[in-house]
Chain A
Amino acid sequence: MSKKVLTVDDDPDISVFVKTVLEENGYTPVVAKNGEMGLAIAREENPDLVILDVLMPKQSGIKMYRELKSDDSLKNIPVIILSGIAKRTFLRSQEALTEFGDLPVPEPELYIEKPVEPDELAEAIKDMIG
C-alpha cells in the first residue's frame, strides 16, 4: 500500500503541483487548503508525511504545525515546511513565535523554500519516508 502524504496549501496551483509530484512518485496525496482542514485530516488519515505551507488564511501553517507537534498521536509525523518565507527567517523566528504563542514551534524535519523543482521535492520525500 502506498504511503499517504498530506499537503496543506491555500494556493491551488501549488496544491496541484505537489499532488502531481506525489502521484508520479507512487504516493497517495491528501489535500487540504488551510491549517484547520489540514489538522482535521491529519487526525482522521494519520498520514506518513505532511507538506505544509506557512502563510495561509484561517488557521495559519504555524498554528497547525504547533498543534501537530504538540499532539501525542501526531507529533511523530515528519513535516516538510514548503513556504515562500525564507528558511533563515523561520528558524530565527522559532523563539519569538514560542514566546508569544501558547505552544512551542520546534524545528521541522525539513524546510524547503518555494519555488521547488519536482525532482528536488520528490527526492526530499523519498529521503524522509522512502
Chain B
Amino acid sequence: MKNRKLLFVTQFEELWFDALQSLMDLRKAGFNHAVFLHVIAREKVAMHRGKGYLKDEEVKLREIANVRFIDWAESLFEQGMEVGAYIVVGNPLPKIISTAAEEDVDLIVTGYHKQGKLEEIYGGSETLDILQRTSRPVLVYKYILPSGAVNEKPFERPLLAMDWSTASERSAQHLLNYKEIIKSVIVVHVASEKEFKGSSSMEIQSVRKENKRKMEKICEAFEKQGIQTESHLHIGDTCEQLEKAAREREATMIVAGTTGESSLKERLLGGVATKLVKFTALPILLIPVDEEV
C-alpha cells in the first residue's frame, strides 16, 4: 500500500485534537504520516505603532503551538503515525499551499473559516481560496455532528455527488483510494427541474433511467471492491438536495469534484462546491479535476 501523508491545518480554533483523532481510520488507507501546520497570522506580531515587531509575542505563540503539537504528536506516535510540524508566521493561504507542495501531501485537512459577508463575497473565505489554489484533495472537516458528538468515522458512509462532469468522475475514482475504510457509498445525482420541463412522461422516465444506469455503473466499481452501494436520483436545487439526501441517508460526509473556478461569477453566485462548503454541516471531501496523482 502506498504511504500517504495528510496536512492538518489548525488555528487551534476550528480543529482540535479530537478532529485529528477521528481521522485515525485513515491509517488503514495508507495514511501513516501527518504534518501539522499552524500559521501565526502576521498581524498578531507585525509592526505595531510604537512597539515595532513583537518578537516576544512571536516566541510565545510559537512555543504554545509547539507544546500542543508535541502533545498531539505523542498520541499519534502511539497509534503508529509519523508526524512533522510547521509553525510559521505569515499569511495562512500561501503557507498552506506552499507547505502542501513542499511536503507533497495526499490530502489537506482544514476547518471552515467563516469571514464577514463582504469579505467572503469579494475576497472569498480562506477555505474556499485553498480550493481554488490547489490541485490536491481538500477535506473541509466539520467534525462536530449536529447532535454535538464527534463524527467518529467520517469515511464510513460517504455520499458521492455525481453530475457526470469530468470532475465528478474524477472524485468517484479518487474515493476508491479510501476503499479500506468505506463501508457503503451513497451515489446521488441531482437533476434540475429544467431537464424535465415540458417533457412527456416517457421522456421523463428515459431521463430517470439514463441517470440510474450511469449511477449503477459508478456503484459497480465500488461493489467490485466489496463496498456496499445505493443510488438515488433527486430533482431540484443541487446543494439543497445533496444536503437533504445526506441527512435522509445518514451520510458521514459529502464527496464532490471541483473545477477550482475562481471567477467573480463563481464567488458571487457560488458553485455547488462553494455552497456545500458554506452551508452543509457534514465534512466535505473535494477532489480537484486536475488532482495531482
Taking beta carbons and an 8 Å cutoff, which residues of A are in contact with B? 54-58, 60, 62-63, 84-86, 89-90, 92-93, 96-102
Chain A residues in 8 Å Cβ range of B169: none
Interchain CB contact (< 8 A) of B102 among A58, A85, A98: A58
Chain B residues in 8 Å Cβ range of A90: 77
B33 to chain A: closest CB distance in Å? 7
Complex Cα distance, B86 from A97, in Å, reads 21
Residues of B within 8 Å of A, CB-based: how many? Answer: 23
Mark interface residues in B68-95 (1 if CB within 8 Å of A CB, else 0).
0110011001111111111000000000
Quick check: B77 and A96 within 8 Å, CB to CB? Answer: yes
Quick check: A58 and B103 within 8 Å, CB to CB? Answer: yes
Quick check: B3 and A102 within 8 Å, CB to CB? Answer: yes
B133 touches A (CB below 8 Å): no
Quick check: B85 and A57 within 8 Å, CB to CB? Answer: yes
Taking beta carbons and an 8 Å cutoff, which residues of B are in contact with A? 3, 27, 32-33, 35, 66, 69-70, 73-74, 77-86, 99, 102-103
Quick check: B84 and A58 within 8 Å, CB to CB? Answer: yes
Chain A residues in 8 Å Cβ range of B3: 101-102
Quick check: A57 and B80 within 8 Å, CB to CB? Answer: no
Chain A residues in 8 Å Cβ range of B81: 97, 100
Given A86-B74, A101-B3, A102-B3, decide whether A62 and B82 contact each other with a Cβ distance below 8 A. yes
A11 to chain B: closest CB distance in Å? 9
